[in-house]
Amino acid sequence: MVNHLLSRESKGPTGLILAVVALMVVFSFLNPRFASVENLQNVLFQSSVPLIIVVGATLVILMGSIDLSVQGVMGAAGMAWILITPNTRTGLDYGVWAWVIALGTGVALGLFAGLIYERLKVPSFVATLGTWYVGLGIGIMLYGNGLLPSLTNEALARWPTRLTLGIPNSFWLAGAVVVVGLVIMNYTRFGRGLLAIGNNEAIARSSGISVSRYKIMALAIAGGLSALAGILATMQLGSGSSDIGSTQLFTVIPAAVIGGTALSGGEGGVLRSSLGVFLLVILNNGLVLAGVDPDYQQGVFGLILILAIVTVAWPHRNRLKVAK
């Protein structure tokens, strides 16, 4: 099954796995604490939010579109969730309905973007960019000028870090999302349909795939997952903010591309994008542990990243989609 999945993920991500392992070995030499159980748990914890987002982003990218609304949806859903979960500002507790409403907000924003994209034939870049700001606007409106809302329920605030079988709960959640994403991509008509659309929309259409419905569904799922990520990030921070998603977009899209998911669509997959997330998180974490001077950290980060990607992509350089 694993082999099958790897081969399905376009040429197999072996090079990428090797790059991640090589980084881990180097960082372990630079600081033995890097390989400690504590730090591996830390890396898994930090990967959780971007992993959840990258699954949705990959579905959208595979069909040759893009979802830029991530941070806005996270802000709207995160604020919606915390304001109706025991918190220091409102005193409301909707229990499980808080999740339904927050996730529903994300799905609705995704549908909104999808309908504009598909029905009004606006490029996904523009439709989701607009949705980003609509989401951020909702987040800011909910945030208002009042007190920063913080979780008052200790159990909820601690849930993401608490360990189950040695692994942080937040990673179990992210892992489950990745597995579901893999299954959808590889074993459902919907998943294959998205790939077909990314490869050649005209052929996909003529072979009877309901392109329009698939596109809207993919954006709605991505919206739902961004919302889930927004809730998890809010729980991790213990406080709500309309900026809860800040900088995530520029972790997730590069992670997908680094993993080998082509922005032109039709190539790559959830597993590869997830490895891209690990590569970025480990690189950041390792540089801090290795004690790289903060003034140089960004520069060193970029150089190592380019080196890793060139090495991984070298055997496939003739087939890279980005030629210019």
Partner 1 sequence: MKTKSLLLAGIAASTLSGAALAAPVAKEDMVLVVSVINTTNPYMISNIEGGKALSEELGIPLEIVNSNGSSQTEIAGIMSILASGKTPIMFVNTVASSDAPTIVDAVKQAGGYVTIWWNKPADYKPQDVGDNFVAFQKIPGLSSGACGAKAIAESIGGKGNVVLLPGVPDSTTSKTRVAGFRAEIEANWPDIKILDERPSNWDPQLGARNAQDLIVKYGDQINGVWSADDGMQIGAMQSFENAGLLDKVKFASDGLYPKTLEDIQSGRGNNAIVGETFHRGYMASAVGLYTAYLAATGEIVPSELSDDKRESLFQLSCVTPGNYQQYLQYDEPGAPAAFVDRLVQNGPWATDPMPLVGGGRADASEW
- Which residue do the tokens 């090797």 mark? 18
**Quick one: 197 or 244, whose CB is closer to partner 1?**
244
**Quick one: 39 or 226, whose CB is closer to partner 1?**
39
Q: Minimum CB separation from partner 1 for residue 243, in Å?
A: 6
From the list 215-223, 259-267, 288-296, 301-309, the region that binds partner 1 by CB under 8 A is 288-296
- The answer for residues whose C-beta is within 8 angstroms of residue 21's C-beta and 6 or more apart is none
Query: Binding residue for partner 1 (CB under 8 A) from 25, 33, 123, 250?
Result: 33
Q: Is 306 in the site for partner 1 (CB under 8 A)?
A: no
Inter-CA distances, 285 with 51, 279, 297, Å: 16, 10, 11
Cβ atoms within 10 Å, residue 190 = 16
From residue 60 to residue 99, what is the string marking binding to partner 1 with x (rule CB under 8 A)?
Answer: ----------------------------x-----------
Q: Is 295 in the site for partner 1 (CB under 8 A)?
A: yes
**Quick one: 174 or 216, whose CB is closer to partner 1?**
174
Q: Is 318 in the site for partner 1 (CB under 8 A)?
A: no
246 vs 244: CA distance, rounded Å: 6
Q: Is 156 in the site for partner 1 (CB under 8 A)?
A: no
Q: Is 285 in the site for partner 1 (CB under 8 A)?
A: yes
From residue 221 to residue 240, what is the string marking binding to partner 1 with x (rule CB under 8 A)?
Answer: ------------x--xxxx-
